[in-house]
Amino acid sequence: MLSQSPKVLHHIGGKSLISRVISEAQSLLGDEQGTITVVTGHGADQVDPHIASMGVRIIHQTEQLGTGHAVRCGAQDLPLEGTVVVLYGDVPLVTADALQPLVAMGRSGLAVMTSDVDDPTGYGRILRDDQGQLTGIVEERDATIEQRAICEINSGLYAAPASMFASLLPLLANENVQGEYYLTDCVALARQHGYAVQGVKGPVECALGVNDRMQLANLEWRYQQRARHQLMQAGVTLIDPDSVFCAGKVDVGPDTIIGPNVWLDDVEIGPAVHIGMGAHLSRVQIARGAHIKPYSVIESTVIGTDATVGPFARLRPGTQLASDTHVGNFVETKNAVIGEGSKLNHLSYIGDATVGRDVNVGAGTITCNYDGVSKHHTTIGDDVFIGSNTSLVAPIEIGEGATTAAGSVLTENVSPGALAIGRNRQIEKTPYQRPTKGRKS
């Protein structure tokens, strides 16, 4: 990877490779009793803190002596009843659904997930006898020319009774080019000792790992394709599917239309929402019928029913828009609660503020919320009209039904229903002679 970060901490779809695998293992476990153990070795000082909060048991492989040795480390102290499932931290597109057949077969014998690929380069090859029974797995570096032509590959995913692993793992030898203990040798050992061995065909994505940046990009592409297909199958229209990027959990209701070049990262979007071109949405909840116009950037925000945002709006963390609100072009909000039917149509900054219902905020309005040390709050009551280019110096409260004159700088509370004017009186001098430039000598 040519990176200072361990491979499993690189990201696909906005989440690290290893956190994706752990999440699927948790889904697979469901309500059943069991333990998820992560075996870490190289880069453990970075990997361990990253996964510590995910509720897994962490075992250190102090010497990296191969996959068989890693499983031997992870399986220590496990009870002998139940089924052991082996996954890989750098095979991130595995899904709980795809693992179900493997687990079912692994309850009574050794089950190996295999996949057919066009280019098997870099993967262990599946060996079968004349009857098609799985007889072994050979790593590419140890394979003959004939074996390298085999296109059925080992995914590295296994399931077997815990008691079987307990008996087979101590028998692994390291008589190979790498001098490592290969988990794949369990297949031949199982057959030698009379255990049932079955190959379970699985999706190609469950066998594809990451060893370099090209493979990382390929799996990102595959993940995005899968996420886009899921959206469209759920009734979402993607104008240009290949340009929509999904990260984290993306939940979108039917009849929503998403334009080109949209970024969706941990979003919950209701039905019949329109997301315009170039919008960037991160940790956002959007209710039914809202319209996000092009090139809006929205993060950690809740948007109500039939609200309109943008174009070119920026909604920062802590923003909450009620239904039928309008936040227009070049408006920025932060820690702002905007009431139903209120409008901030253009060129304004509203931060650390509570805005009531049916408020109109004129262009160029700012809440002056920061004094250089602390943030202060602005409260604007219902049915207030804020004139253009008004500066509200917090802490300040504008009473219900009040009006502020355009160009005002207000530093004191405004009474309900009042007109507040905070500007110098206009002075006019006439006649007036505009200065002219003198001639150059």
Q: Where are the domains of the chain?
A: 7-206, 234-420
Q: Which positions are catalytic?
A: 346
- DSSP characters over 126-157: EEE-TT--EEEEE-GGG--HHHHT--EEEEEE
CATH no. for 234-420 = 2.160.10.10
Q: Of the candidates 46, 27, 49, 45, which has an alpha carbon nearest to the alpha carbon of residue 36?
A: 27
**Digits of tens for pLDDT over the chain (441 positions)?**
999 999 999 999 999 999 999 999 999 999 888 999 999 998 999 999 999 999 999 999 999 999 999 999 999 888 889 999 999 999 999 999 999 999 999 999 999 999 999 889 888 899 998 888 888 889 888 899 999 999 999 898 999 999 999 999 999 999 888 899 999 899 989 999 999 899 999 999 999 999 999 999 999 999 999 999 999 999 999 999 999 999 999 999 999 999 999 999 999 999 999 999 999 999 999 999 999 999 999 999 999 999 999 999 999 999 999 999 999 999 999 999 999 999 999 999 999 999 999 999 999 999 999 999 999 999 999 999 999 999 999 999 999 999 999 999 999 999 999 999 999 888 898 998 888 887 555
Give pLDDT tens digits for 423-433: 988 889 899 88
The CA distance from 411 to 392, in Å, is 7
Residue-wise pLDDT for 181-219, tens only, equals 999 899 989 999 999 899 999 999 999 999 999 999 999
- The rounded distance, in Å, linking the Cα atoms of 57 and 67 is 18
Kindly report the number of other CB atoms within 10 A of residue 180's CB atom: 17
CA 102 to chain CA mean position, Å: 27
Q: Identify the burial level of 382 via C-beta atoms within 10 angstroms of its C-beta, where 0-12 means exposed, 13-18 middle and 19 or more buried.
A: middle
Domain 7-206 annotated CATH 3.40.50.300: no
- Taking phi over 0 as left and psi of -120 to 50 as alpha, with beta for the rest, 387 belongs to beta
Give the pLDDT confidence of 319-346 residue by residue, as tens digits. 999 999 999 999 999 999 999 999 999 9
What pTM did the predictor assign? 0.90
Looking up tokens 């190996």 gives 112
| Secondary structure (3-state) at 166 | helix
Nearest by Cα to 174 from 65, 70, 72, 74:
65
